[in-house]
Amino acid sequence: MQPLRVYSVVPRLPSQLKELWDLAYNYLFVWNSDIASIFSTIDQVLWRDCQQNPVKFLNSLPQQQLEELAKDDFFVQRLKEAAKVQRSYLAREGCAYKFDGAKKGEPVVAYFSLEYGIGLSLPIYSGGLGILAGDHLKSASDLNIPLIGVGLCYQHGYFRQYMTQDGWQQERYPSHDFEEMSIKVAKDKNGKDVKFNFDMKGETLHVKVWQVEVGRVTLYLLDTNVPENSVSFRGITARLYGGDLEMRLWQEILLGIGGVKALDALGLEPSVIHMNEGHSAFAGLERIRVFMTEHGLSFEAAMEMVASSSIFTTHTPVPAGNDRFPAELMRPYFEPYAQTMGLAYKVFLSLGREDPRDDAEQFCMTVLALKLSRFNNGVSKLHGHVSRNMWQKVWPQYPVEDVPIGAITNGVHMPTWVATDFSLLFDRYLGPNWREDPDCAKVWRQTDNIPDAELWRTHERLRERLVDFVRKRLRRQLMNIGARRKEIELADEVLDPRALTIGFARRFATYKRAGLLLKDKERLLKIISDSRQPVQFIFAGKAHPQDNEGKKLIQDLIQFCRREECRMSLVFLEDYDMKIANYMVQGCDIWLNTPRRPLEACGTSGMKAMANGVLQFSTPDGWWDEAYLPDNSLGWAIGRGEDYNDHEYQDFVESQTLYKVLENDIIPEFYDRGHGSLPRSWIAKVKKALRILGPEFNANRMVEDYTEKAYQPAYSNYATMHKNEFQGAKELAAWRMEVMTKWSSLKVRNIRSETHTDVYVEEPIIITAEIFLNGLTTDNVQVEIYAGPVGQDGKFARRNTVVMTPEEDMGGGWHVYQGEVMPHEAGRFGYTVRILPKHELLLDPHSLGLIHWAQ
Ligand SMILES: *Cc1c(COP(=O)(O)O)cnc(C)c1O
């Protein structure tokens, strides 16, 4: 029997406790322990059972308990103080970054992402990408950047993992009750619920908008599960990464096109769009369409507007991991859409193709995003390099170093991930600035002031807490699969709170090589069975529901963990999420990561561990490639980033290294105890890692990098091009058209250098060239010398570019240019000359993809 109608019954909070609602409806409690402790002191067990969901928690408290609390003066006083903390955080003004002309309180940047990891009780994330997006919003809030988020509100979120008796992953999709979560229906300026609809394949799609407060940042979530929609459309926001390819297309249309429409329905006009991964690239298209239909811009002018005010961050270093859709699948959705922009479908498709003329190529969201943004970046230095190679075809004729994809390395939101015990230590010895200003090197230099004994005691307490958590979880897991009583009782004894504890938690994607540690099981068994120097491992992670290979890896691992000789020191925890991540990154001694280089774009779990004094043991991939020191004084690397063609051989070599470093370096160093039983040299490493890596790998530094390098220039581009009825955009588009038509007839001749064949180190070479500009002016182009040492293969080994200056107008469109280079080392040295377009509104001369090389 189904009820006819359902109401949410909310508790009647006594007036003294009213402010609990304010605390409950802002996720600030996730990174402010003064606020979180208000909930946990009321009822710790209930708080845990409610998955730290404050709304559900308050709804679950018996009325009588609330009445009693209201009479508890001490509690009421604490609540008042916490509410004051929240109010003053929200009211704080001032931002170190200026957006001249932006209206106060109005968003400048809209951040688009398919997933967000904000807190345990908002399960709309699957892993690293979502957590990163959540950390981005939190740091933007702390820094007071005028930013909002746009995402989807999934009825079932990502799957929850549980295991069968023989260790095979099963998925379940619990349903979320939004009424019982810290989210509210979004209202427009007149206080009305925000709703909108648009046409999708001839059918109307109705969308409802929710809003979540993340400190000072608002996250808007789109929801299609409304009665007006057909059953299939209602399912668009059912599951994160669920369904087939067409479902993914629907979700991305909703996020990109729907997201831009939602901003309009909300009455918001952010100037800058940040696309986190290619999923949201349709947002750029929709903005182009709006500029064309509502402001009468040409496609070219609208495209200039959008590209110069968009930021795109790519995350996927494997070609197969980038979303691609067949042209035929897209046709019913985008042929009519392209028409409204005056584009033939084939021309439209070329926006998503590496080679615009290749009709067989699928439409790639990453390519679309790269073409619709002038600020493209990978998420670590190494990943930037990999991405430039991977997408070189989008910029034909470009040397790989000039492919316009830069790098902004990810970071983690420190106050979210640092354990409370550790943050007290930081407060005491680093001062409260580590929260406000975590990218300040001076703050972290004070790590040296923390007494060794105090640091180690704090760390050991966190390890004990982790062991306790693992035992309870394991007990529950064993009960769920109906294990024997003796086995369940043993769960209370697994692991040793004093033993060297190694954590490995991540998605079980093949490239993460969870099996590397198990390559030589005998050797591993020997390592864990030395009772004088005990070593233990904790594992966690999900495999994608369709990834049977990943599931097999988990199964092998679980079966190994259950072996008689292993079960006391190896544990697999089911259902990896933010809570497990929290315990693990705070309580382990070593954070193990074994990706196959260079397939880890960045990785952030290791940074969370670093911030809690946990040392890394990882392949030099992603962030660790730019963080580790070859002398291992910040943690250990597996290999030195060698290139291998044979994967099997690589796995063999790297697993050998893994065991060797464990046996010879890590274990002895951990157990090298001096006075007071302290591992002095280990502690020195921990401190050095905090001192050197702390100021770099945090989300404040990351958001500041985005703000300085992308948001601010993109904003000022937008403002300039928007002025006087889009005068700038029209000018730039017209200029671009002119440059493009004249480009192919540019010529370079008579390149001369005034030297003999022998040149000397540090002796300048003056180079002149005659350039035919075909009617373009010297203001329209930048002529460069491209010079450097030449390798064995006759190619440039490295290169340097020098801008040449126009010296003389020869008439007939010809100009003399001159410049000077200087070889800094002996050996073969070469140079050539090239022409790039130049315009004051064009920030990066490479972004148009036009380049002319001297033949
Ligand atoms: C931090 C985090 C991740 C990302 O970790 P990687 O190092 O990128 O694998 C994934 N899942 C959860 C729950 C996390 O907290």
pLDDT digits (tens, 9 = 90+) for 305-322: 999 999 999 999 988 889
**125 and 40 share one domain:** no
**113 and 76 share one domain:** no
**What is the distance in A from the centroid of ligand 1 to the CA of 129?**
8
Q: Is the C-beta atom of 506 inside 6 A of ligand 1?
A: yes
Q: Is the C-beta atom of 595 inside 6 A of ligand 1?
A: no
**To test the ligand 1 pocket, which listed residue (116, 506, 580) has its Cβ within 8 A of the most ligand atoms?**
506
Contact 21, 38 (CB under 8 A): no
**276 and 243 share one domain:** yes
Question: Which structure tokens are listed for 629?
Answer: 């020191």
Rounded Cα distance, 604 and 96, in Å: 26
**142 and 208 share one domain:** yes
Rounded Cα distance, 134 and 393, in Å: 32
Q: Which atom of ligand 1 is nearest to the CA of 605?
A: 7
Containing 87, the helix (H) or strand (E) segment is helix 73-91
Burial class (CB in 10 A: 0-12, 13-18, 19+), 338: buried
Amino acid making up residue 582: N
Which residues lie closer than 8 Å to 105 by C-beta, 6 or more apart?
Answer: 146
Q: Of 679, 697, 715, which one is at a domain's C-terminal end?
A: 697
Rounded Cα distance, 131 and 574, in Å: 19
**What is the distance in A from the centroid of ligand 1 to the CA of 544?**
14
Nearest-CA residue for ligand 1 atom 3 is: 128
Position 845 scores a pLDDT of: 81
Residue 547 lies in a domain: yes
Rounded Cα distance, 508 and 550, in Å: 5
Contact 21, 74 (CB under 8 A): no
Looking at the DSSP assignment, which residues form a beta bridge with residue 783? 835
**513 and 662 share one domain:** yes
Strand, coil or helix: 455: helix
Neighbours of 345 (CB within 10 A): 16
Q: Is the C-beta atom of 701 inside 6 A of ligand 1?
A: no
- Weakly modelled stretches of the chain, pLDDT under 70: 1, 6, 755-757
**What is the maximum alpha-carbon separation in the chain?**
96
Question: Which structure tokens are listed for 722?
Answer: 């928007």
Position 756 scores a pLDDT of: 65
Which residues lie closer than 8 Å to 366 by C-beta, 6 or more apart?
Answer: 278, 281, 314, 316, 322, 323, 391
Domain that holds residue 844: 746-853
**To test the ligand 1 pocket, which listed residue (605, 617, 624) has its Cβ within 8 A of the most ligand atoms?**
605
Q: Which atom of ligand 1 is nearest to the CA of 602?
A: 8
Rounded Cα distance, 243 and 230, in Å: 16
Residue 303 lies in a domain: yes
Q: Is the C-beta atom of 128 inside 6 A of ligand 1?
A: yes
**66 and 127 share one domain:** no
**To test the ligand 1 pocket, which listed residue (604, 623, 624, 702) has its Cβ within 8 A of the most ligand atoms?**
604
Containing 377, the helix (H) or strand (E) segment is strand 375-378
**What is the distance in A from the centroid of ligand 1 to the CA of 671?**
29
Residue 552 lies in a domain: yes
Which residues lie closer than 8 Å to 210 by C-beta, 6 or more apart?
Answer: 153, 178, 183, 184, 185, 186, 220, 221, 222, 223
Q: Which atom of ligand 1 is nearest to the CA of 506?
A: 9
Position 5 scores a pLDDT of: 74
**What is the distance in A from the centroid of ligand 1 to the CA of 174?**
21
Number of H helices, E strands in the chain: 32, 28
Position 757 scores a pLDDT of: 66
Instruction: Please count the structural domains in the chain.
Output: 4
**242 and 330 share one domain:** yes
Nearest-CA residue for ligand 1 atom 12 is: 127
**What is the distance in A from the centroid of ligand 1 to the CA of 404?**
28
Q: Which atom of ligand 1 is nearest to the CA of 582?
A: 15
Residue 583 lies in a domain: yes
**What is the distance in A from the centroid of ligand 1 to the CA of 131?**
7
Task: List the beta strands (DSSP E) in 288-374.
Answer: 310-313, 324-325, 363-364
Residue 662 lies in a domain: yes
Q: Is the C-beta atom of 513 inside 6 A of ligand 1?
A: no
**pTM of the prediction?**
0.95
**337 and 273 share one domain:** yes
**For residue 464, which phi and psi values (nearest 5 degrees)?**
-60, -40
Q: Is the C-beta atom of 578 inside 6 A of ligand 1?
A: yes
Rounded Cα distance, 757 and 765, in Å: 11
Distances (CA, A) of 796 to 789, 832, 855: 6, 10, 16
**What is the distance in A from the centroid of ligand 1 to the CA of 128?**
4
**What is the distance in A from the centroid of ligand 1 to the CA of 130?**
9
**What is the distance in A from the centroid of ligand 1 to the CA of 392?**
29
Position 40 scores a pLDDT of: 96
Q: Is the C-beta atom of 115 inside 6 A of ligand 1?
A: no
Residue 259 lies in a domain: yes
Distances (CA, A) of 573 to 140, 162, 426, 491, 643: 33, 10, 30, 12, 33
**549 and 686 share one domain:** yes
**365 and 513 share one domain:** no
Q: Which atom of ligand 1 is nearest to the CA of 593?
A: 7
Nearest-CA residue for ligand 1 atom 5 is: 605
Residue 706 lies in a domain: no
**What is the distance in A from the centroid of ligand 1 to the CA of 45?**
26
**What is the distance in A from the centroid of ligand 1 to the CA of 577?**
8
CA 306, chain centre distance (Å): 22
CATH code, domain carrying 777: 2.60.40
Containing 730, the helix (H) or strand (E) segment is helix 712-743
Amino acid making up residue 585: V
**What is the distance in A from the centroid of ligand 1 to the CA of 206?**
33
**125 and 60 share one domain:** no
Position 9 scores a pLDDT of: 73
Q: Of 407, 423, 450, which one is at a domain's C-terminal end?
A: 407
Q: Is the C-beta atom of 603 inside 6 A of ligand 1?
A: yes
**For residue 624, which phi and psi values (nearest 5 degrees)?**
-65, -30
Q: Is the C-beta atom of 622 inside 6 A of ligand 1?
A: no
Which residues lie closer than 8 Å to 74 by C-beta, 6 or more apart?
Answer: none
pLDDT in tens, 788-843: 989 888 888 888 899 999 999 999 999 999 999 988 888 888 899 999 999 988 77
Rounded Cα distance, 665 and 681, in Å: 11
Q: Which atom of ligand 1 is nearest to the CA of 607?
A: 7
Q: Of 372, 388, 407, which one is at a domain's C-terminal end?
A: 407
CATH code, domain carrying 336: 3.40.50.2000
Residue 57 lies in a domain: yes
Amino acid making up residue 401: E
**81 and 130 share one domain:** no
